[in-house]
Homo-oligomer: A and B are copies of this chain.
Amino acid sequence: MNVSRVEMTDLLPIEELKTLVEPGKVLTDAASLETYGKDWTKHYAPAPSAIVFPKTVEQVQAIVRWANAHKIALVPSGGRTGLSAAAVAANGEVVVSFDYMNQILDFNESNRTVVCQPGVVTGALQQFAEDKGLYYPVDFASAGSSQIGGNIGTNAGGIKVIRYGLTRNWVAGLKVVTGTGELLELNKDLIKNATGYDLRQLFIGAEGTLGFVVEATMRLDRAPRNLTAMVLGTPDLESIMPVLHAFHGKLDLTAFEFFSDKCLDKILGRGDIPAPFESRTPFYALLEFEAVNEDVANTALATFEHCVEQGWVLDGVMSQSEQQLKNLWKLREYISETISHWTPYKNDISVTVSQVPAFLADIDTIVSGSYPDFEVLWYGHIGDGNLHLNILKPDALSKEEFFAKCATVNKWVFETVEKYNGSISAEHGVGMTKRDYLEYSRSPAEIAYMKAVKTVFDPNGIMNPGKIFA
């Protein structure tokens, strides 16, 4: 009888859930549970109990109220491109997928704003903006499948932060459903609004732990003019920072990225992307700017020559066409996807820009000193102090052995991050992969306040529990 009773309470809530959405919009088949139960992290076995696909704000509210009534945990799901397991359902949660709330609802040319449902794909918003002669400037490798709701949940950064900032800067207004099912309309798309706490900011980067984003008004910018990229080869890592400072003082950079020659090796190994120039150098900087007129292009070339004279740059190239611009960007943008073949240990860390050289040298010494056989690949958004550390799995090691060794690396990396007052997660979020290391970046008092804030918006702890903190 006991077993039967348990089955009854297990069964009934799901049947009730089905009544809250359109027919067929609750899935419990094995393939769906596997697909929607995980993001791009590979460490956790997906184990959701169901996937629900709301189509309206009211349905999201009903789902949250239902979850409260039955004390069932919910995990929001967007493009599932996250790298911190914030959208993984590994403990019988119900996944709330926003795949069917993927419409652009409104465009206001005068305000340069677009009202998006959370499931709008980042790339679709970028394309929409372009079609209107405008620009959505948040961009990163997974933009073709990530969704705006997820971008907001992680405050997505990417390759243009040095000029345009993070997703936070582009959120004019938010509609969220809190952990009690209440709908809040935050900031009403205003530029200036000094009426108490800006709760919108709390939900940005909260990884769905306070509530779900059900609508977002995103700002657009004017279209960039004649974007032009340079790839510059440097003799060592130390030379990249003076190159940044030389260009930063002279041009309004729209990007300043870097990658190591080991990364280039993998990229060229694909066979479909041309080398930037004939010679090879240990590191490369990729910078971009608007070449609005001859003066700007000349300034860029003069600065390049100055860097060569100083010995910071050994070789370089400047794009002369849209196609060349795209090809140079592929050198950087395709790294993540290309190296995924080697099941890499990935870490996404940041320090202030001035700390980058010493910090990077420290980490490199630690990793290469302890695991000389590991192939370490560095790349990232060095102009923002954001570094992506990737260690490729040696073929000889099993996945389990490799990740066990990487757990040790994690600790060393985070100790170094703490020493430099940095962040254990620059732009990927905390999720499950970094929640046990949160104290390396946030004080116990801060974490206690964060938990108390969560309780305010999610008193029953049903919104993406176990993410950010246990």
Contact = CB atoms under 8 A, between A and B. Distances in A.
Interface of A: 108, 110-111, 113, 154-155, 157, 161, 165-166, 168-169, 178, 182-186, 188-199, 201-202, 204-207, 210, 222, 241, 245, 249, 252, 293, 295, 350-354, 381, 384-386, 421-430, 434, 438, 441-443, 445-447, 449-450, 452-453, 456-457, 468-469
A111 B384 CA distance: 9
Max chain B C-beta neighbours (<10 A), residue from A295, A353, A447: A353
B108 A196 contact: no
A207 B198 CA distance: 12
Say whether chain A's binding surface is mostly helix, strand, loop, or mixed: loop
B202 A197 contact: yes
A426 to B, nearest CB: 4
A192 B386 contact: yes
Nearest to A217: B352
Given A422-B190, A446-B184, A430 B195 contact: yes
Nearest to A210: B197
A461 to B, nearest CB: 15
A453 B196 CA distance: 11
A422 B385 contact: no
Contacts of A194: 154-155, 157, 205, 423, 425-430
A191 B178 CA distance: 28
A168 to B, nearest CB: 8
B450 A192 contact: no
Given A199-B449, A445-B182, A456-B449, A192 B204 contact: no
A196 B442 contact: yes
B196 A450 contact: yes
9 contacts: A155-B198, A168-B198, A183-B445, A192-B384, A194-B426, A195-B424, A196-B430, A293-B295, A453-B456
A39 B352 CA distance: 37
A94 B346 CA distance: 52
A188 B421 contact: yes
Q: Which 10 A-B pairs have the closest CB atoms?
A: A201-B201, A110-B354, A192-B426, A193-B423, A191-B384, A452-B456, A195-B441, A194-B425, A192-B350, A192-B386
Nearest to A192: B426
A197 B427 contact: no
Given A184-B443, A201-B201, A456-B452, A192 B354 contact: no
Contacts of A111: 352-354
Contacts of A381: 192
Nearest to A193: B423
Contact of A352 (B190, B422, B430): B190
Contacts of A354: 108, 110-111
A153 to B, nearest CB: 10
A264 B468 CA distance: 55
B438 A191 contact: no
A430 B197 CA distance: 10
Nearest to A435: B196
A204 to B, nearest CB: 7
Given A185-B443, A197-B450, 16 more contacts: A110-B354, A155-B198, A157-B192, A161-B191, A161-B192, A189-B421, A190-B385, A190-B426, A191-B350, A191-B386, A192-B423, A193-B425, A193-B426, A194-B430, A449-B456, A453-B453
A220 to B, nearest CB: 12
B201 A222 contact: no
Contacts of A206: 196-197
Contact of A188 (B197, B249, B295, B422): B422
A218 B154 CA distance: 24
B204 A198 contact: yes
Given A195-B424, A201-B202, A469-B196, A190 B445 contact: no
B192 A198 contact: no
A190 B350 contact: yes
Contacts of A453: 197, 199, 453, 456
A248 B245 CA distance: 30
Contacts of A154: 194
Contacts of A442: 195-196
By CB atoms of chain B within 10 A, which of A249, A430, A442 has the most? Answer: A442
A429 B197 CA distance: 10
A207 B197 CA distance: 9
Contacts of A446: 184, 186, 196, 199
